[in-house]
Structure 1
């Protein structure tokens, strides 16, 4: 059994200065592709099969030990929402955040490894374009674009925090009750997870969704992504892993809405998979009240979750993005 009262943090410091990269897994306890991949990479580093050339590499294979031990997404709550250093910790995830947030802030970049509930292919998520706005000011679009283009996946998604902000506004409009859960899911900070927090400290961050939770190829997807990131940053020799050169242009999508489940009686019209195409007016599901939930425009459905709880995300909507990714240089 994994001890739940401490975090295991593995750090490799090269003798030459360079970037500081942190890689995290099992932020959601049952998402372990990254954890398996990191165990193999640590074995290779410890055995001399891989050599860190410069910089600092920090690996945290299991960020949420309680959720991992319970083999579920959360311990007391979703660690990857409303992430910030707590003034007074109120639950297990707050206590993890107290250690995790300063650890993230001590690094230049983050590769956060996840998996998802429904069937589908691996994909990655990037932050906003460079901007000086209030929601998520950012200045590292180039490095995120360069890293994500090399990970080995053919689909990239943007628009997370702006989509969440709109969803939160709707939640606030219908909120009732004063429970801690109700307060958390209607907090404007609720869309902030590991990558968003990392960007708020001045760093860059990529989320890699390595496939369905039980996909046997997931650990390989995670391992190759870690190695390719390290090679791009000049932290490993170029021959450490085969480079990824997409044969076709990467598919770039933008999230534009998140739809909450209102009742456990809300049901999908069919067994959706992430990134299934939808057409405007198509039936996505039916509320317990009988109200039909129709696609507002053509695009894709993302993260359809038959296990979501009332008041939390049921599915997301995405459409084609005009963003272009460049290969860039290491930072």
Structure 2
């Protein structure tokens, strides 16, 4: 195998008038490239003068994890979007990225992080907590995140990532693990922190946009329009740069409330689930290798069902309607 990549390619456009500092990232997971392709077109349009940056600073990182991207898989050595922080000691390739990425996040006011997912389903956005001064994820940028999420052009918005992940971690920490670095990382209290959570810890706002299934041909255009709509909302591009999002009805808001790990390679789903398929209370979602049924504790929707998840990691999430108002 050739030697691992030695740099990140960062594109920055600095307006001649002061304004917001927006960071857009793609391929945090190497096989999630809708954002990568969208940014290539945005860069071309800016270079050609088809788009004009009026103010502020736009930073684009089309491939955040170049090793995983080269290998066309989710991870290089490990999942970059978990346990993200500047490492005191470098253990793997993702730690090397974190030493560059974390300071870069801290230099910006906001983050649009572009992803895709394994199962079928429509594009959706994920936002952070409501304003709070608690210990888990103190936050004061709820209004900005709500405004950006509403402008992106998706029909569904999800909240509750870190609080739900914390519940799963508590269960994971109670199980014995094999002593591997992966097992140690997945049971670390910091493991739920990725790009958006780290961005919020620096005082910024952050949105994850899941642009559709990994191979959805519409995904790059979903990502491109989302970037442009964010720039227009922030006053960095003129209004005519992209058709505004005018939904016939408000987006559906959901709150994650449960994460279920895959415990054994023999754990299997009851059927082929897609993100946001409805589940009823008591409905069988899957079966453990032991034969134990995995049932929905309440009605709602399944999110991120992953038939390829390794044992000891997230298998699927559950969500229910949120009372939040954008």
Looking at structure 2, the residues matched to 247 and 175 of structure 1 have their Cα atoms a distance apart, in angstroms, of 50
Counterpart for residue 329 of structure 1: none
Looking at structure 1, the residues matched to 296 and 166 of structure 2 have their Cα atoms a distance apart, in angstroms, of 20
TM-score by length of 2: 0.99
Counterpart for residue 74 of structure 2: 73
Residue 248 (1) aligns with residue 249 (2): yes
Counterpart for residue 196 of structure 1: 197
Superposed displacement of residue 177, structure 1: 3.2
1:173-252 matched pairs, under 5 angstroms: 173-252=174-253
Runs (4+) of structure 1 moved beyond 6 Å? none
Superposed displacement of residue 176, structure 1: 2.6
1:81-92 matched pairs, under 5 angstroms: 81-92=82-93
Superposed displacement of residue 2, structure 1: 11
Secondary structure of residue in 1 paired with 2:162: helix
Counterpart for residue 139 of structure 1: 140
Superposed displacement of residue 211, structure 1: 0.1
Counterpart for residue 115 of structure 2: 114
1:264-290, CA deviations, whole angstroms, 9 ceiling, x for partnerless residues? Answer: 100000000000000000010000000
Unaligned runs of 5+ in 2: none
Q: 1:3 to 1:179 in 2, by over 3 A?
A: closer
Looking at structure 1, the residues matched to 106 and 149 of structure 2 have their Cα atoms a distance apart, in angstroms, of 21
Looking at structure 1, the residues matched to 52 and 288 of structure 2 have their Cα atoms a distance apart, in angstroms, of 54
Secondary structure of residue in 2 paired with 1:317: strand
Counterpart for residue 328 of structure 1: none
Unaligned runs of 5+ in 1: 326-331
Query: Which stretch of structure 1 is more off in the superposition, 2-11 or 256-265?
Result: 2-11
Counterpart for residue 315 of structure 1: 316
Superposed displacement of residue 180, structure 1: 1.0
TM-score by length of 1: 0.97
CA contact (8 A) 1:130 1:138 kept: yes
1:127-159, CA deviations, whole angstroms, 9 ceiling, x for partnerless residues? Answer: 000000000000000000000000000100000
Counterpart for residue 292 of structure 1: 293
Looking at structure 1, the residues matched to 261 and 303 of structure 2 have their Cα atoms a distance apart, in angstroms, of 13
CA contact (8 A) 1:2 1:69 kept: no
Looking at structure 1, the residues matched to 322 and 247 of structure 2 have their Cα atoms a distance apart, in angstroms, of 18
Superposed displacement of residue 245, structure 1: 1.3
Q: Over aligned residues, Cα RMSD in angstroms?
A: 1.0
Counterpart for residue 282 of structure 2: 281
1:17-72, CA deviations, whole angstroms, 9 ceiling, x for partnerless residues? Answer: 00000000000000000000000000000011101000000000000000000000
Residue 154 (1) aligns with residue 155 (2): yes
